[in-house]
Amino acid sequence: MDVKKQEKAVQMIADIRKHQQNSTERVSDLTSQVKDLKHALRLMQENSLVSETTVLSGGESKLNRYVSKSGSIQWKTEQKNLQTPEGVVKVDQYGILDDPNPSCSWQKELQKIASDRSLVRMFMLDPHTPQLDTKLFHHLKKAPKNIVPSIQKVFNDTSGNGAEWIPDEFQPDLYKTFQVERTLASNLAKVQVNRNTVLVPRMDRGGRPYKKGMLTSDDQKYTTSTVSTAQASLSITGMACRYLIDDAAAEDSGIALLPTLQRQIAMDLQDAFEDCMINGDTAGTHQDTISAWNIRSRWGASGLGGTSDHRRCFLGLRAASYDKSTTDDHGAALTYDDFLANVYKMAELGVQDVMCVVSPEVLIKYLLPMDEIATLDKVGPQATVLTGQVAQIAGIPIIVSRFIGNDMQNTGLFTGGGGGLSGMILFNKSSWNIYERKGILLESDKNIGQGAIELVATYRGIMASADAAATKNVSYGFNL
């Protein structure tokens, strides 16, 4: 973590709060303050990106698990037969290139080189990467002693410099970029699922104890109680990004493009997922006029609102609040008591594990001037700080998201622009999870009609709650 960058971001937010509390012209320069807040948030995001680390497990001796009985290396995940007391079952076993928990620094670097090489080759018409092939060759020559015979066997059995046998498939590095904790989604628990429809059992009500009486007869029994159970059915959907790259790309330009492309794909999917977390709706008619909603100019003016719009992937927090009748019209004003009234809408689920998501405008105009708010410079080093948290109020962490718009009407909905209003969301984060079917998959194909290489990145996952439909686990305050 870059301490100086973090301190600069915290100080910028503290300065904005000081201005809001002491200036007589708090709102007159709101645009400039929003710009400064976005800069501070960007510094915090970049800082969390830099702090990403991969945990190494087991050491070099664990590399033997990728060596087969014949002495060959298992490069990618394969299905194996596992003998259990109940019989033989098929399990997926990671290979040396796609294991998310590399054993040592040599394997971690091997995964990065192979991933970079695979991605560069994806957007080349005639894949030819001598620079990366040479880099890979030299790295393999530095393999730990316990797998040197297996590595040498590959070179002895393969013509060329040994790069030919590295699978030209996308490896997990890009997905790790997507997983970096710098978004709203990173604050929710992630549940891995293995099918498109998931049934999540829940206990709506436990048993009821009764008073234990005196024994008065031989057949006397305790009073019975009934446990109330149910299940939530979740359908896993996905998102896709499609890119067209000039087929004249060479290795040098591919290597130069690589970091930008990796980051952009991850950012596109992150932004779309967070937008749906807040503004998604699965109703036949979306609650907002998304055909005209280019929120903060992020998505462009054309192609919005169709059946494939990303805001139709799953139910978002705003729409869920309307469904549960837990919205709160603040009437263009927000005091500390108003904030608590919004929390009150969640009943007992508003007592703990609550998280508040606000727009930059609401944070600056309404929350920072409150005496009750504590920015990170006041929270203290011993406090637990969530990813992206900028402050807290009443013990509730505050996260800023650009996808709470500043162009909504006084109904809390977007109906075509011109409203100029915003809002805030409170939700119990223990009630909402990310259900993930598959990480980022990147595929390429040649488009001879356009003289381009097509890249398609897909991600399959949703945010959902397994609570009963009427459970008040979210609240939306609007007209701010």
The pLDDT score that the predictor gives to residue 76 is 84
Percentages helix, strand, coil for the chain (3-state, rounded to 5) are 35, 25, 40
The CA distance from 314 to 463, in Å, is 7
Nearest to 473 by CA among 430, 433, 436: 430
Domain locations in the chain as residue ranges: 72-165, 236-359+401-478
User: Which residues, in sequence order, are CB contacts of 462 under 8 Å at separation 6+?
Assistant: 234, 235, 236, 237, 313, 314, 434, 435
Q: What is the pLDDT of residues 303-313, one digit of tens each?
A: 899 999 999 99
How is residue 454 annotated by DSSP? E
Amino acid at 216: T
Question: How far is C-alpha 227 from the chain's CA centre?
Answer: 35
pLDDT tens digits along 354-364: 999 999 899 98
pLDDT tens-digit map of 10-31:
777 777 777 777 766 666 666 7
What is the torsional sign of CA 65, 82, 75, 242? negative
Distance, CA of 89 to CA of 83 (rounded, Å): 7
State the pTM of this model.
0.75
Q: Are strands 396-400 and 423-428 parallel, antiparallel or unpaired?
A: unpaired
What is the per-residue pLDDT for 192?
86
Output the CA angle 474-478-480, nearest 5 degrees.
140
Regions of the chain short of the pLDDT cut 50? 50-53, 159-164, 170-172, 181, 382
Q: What is the chain's mean pLDDT, rounded?
A: 81
Pairing assessment for the beta strands 373-375 and 389-393 based on DSSP bridges: antiparallel
- pLDDT confidence of residue 27: 60
Cβ proximity of 150 and 67 under 8 Å: yes
